[in-house]
Amino acid sequence: MQTILQANNVQKKFGTRDNIYTALKDINLEITEGEFVGVMGPSGAGKSTLLNIFSTIDTPTSGDVIIAGQNIVTMKDAQLSDFRRQKLGFIFQDYNLLDTLTVKENILLPLAISKVPAAEIEKRVDEIADIFGIRNILNKYPYHISGGQKQRTAASRAIVTKPSLVLADEPTGALDSKSASSLLESMRTLNETHKSTIMMVTHDAYAASYCKRVIFIKDGELYKELYKNSQSRKAFFQSILEVLGALGGGHLDTI
């Protein structure tokens, strides 16, 4: 399997010489093509810092991050902008949809910016709308649809470009349980049938149970990994809860 993401000795420090906080300590991590990886950990563990580095929002203090064969740490701003658009897909908690565009127009926007031919755009939008179950709302505007439909629209937009890596930041955080389940089922289908590579940061063990592998971070370091393998989702969910309990349990947030 092709390696999509490789982090080598990634460190991230904040602060000045007299007051330095180390958010990430020598993170070594590999994600291969077709994986669905969850990242979990207590508040302040470094989850969001890691996601920000992988998404090119932030840079590590030291170490290398290679995505789709390219070292993003050495890229200039213009290169990063192109790389982000061509190779990465993002699913955020707050949708980031444009209210002046229909659902269909929101989804196809990144394709139009990249000047993909119209026939190919139609084909991709129809395909992704079917996966996420939103074909019947393509002509509606964001303010006319539910939160769950907005998130599935946002996920469709992130994936319609066929990125090398999809980065999801608490995608179910603002959804009710039914909408969350619908989104997660769609993401699992996308991963299994289209081999999309997904990394999802979440505090929710239920959401993480849809992944094939879950990475736990504690105090800026990799703490443990769980593989689903042949377990049922329910059994994997229980395994995740056990690790979270060992980590300290309590309230696990998105920091």
- Lateral strand order in the sheet of 3-16: 19-32, 3-16, 62-67, 70-71
Rounded to an integer, the average pLDDT of 169-177 is 91
More confident residue, 238 or 174: 238
pLDDT at 92: 84
pLDDT digits (tens, 9 = 90+) for 24-52: 999 999 999 999 999 999 888 999 999 99
- Tell me what pLDDT residue 249 has: 52
- What is the share, in percent, of the chain residues with pLDDT greater than 70? 97
Please report which confidence band the pLDDT of residue 194 belongs to, taking 50, 70 and 90 as the band edges. confident
Rounded mean pLDDT of the chain? 93
The tens digit of pLDDT for each residue in 78-118 reads 999 999 989 999 998 888 899 999 999 999 999 999 899 99
The alpha carbon of 85 is separated from its chain's Cα centroid by a whole number of angstroms, namely 15
Rounded to the nearest 5 degrees, what angle is found at the Cα of 102, between the Cα atoms of 191 and 129? 25
Structure pTM? 0.91
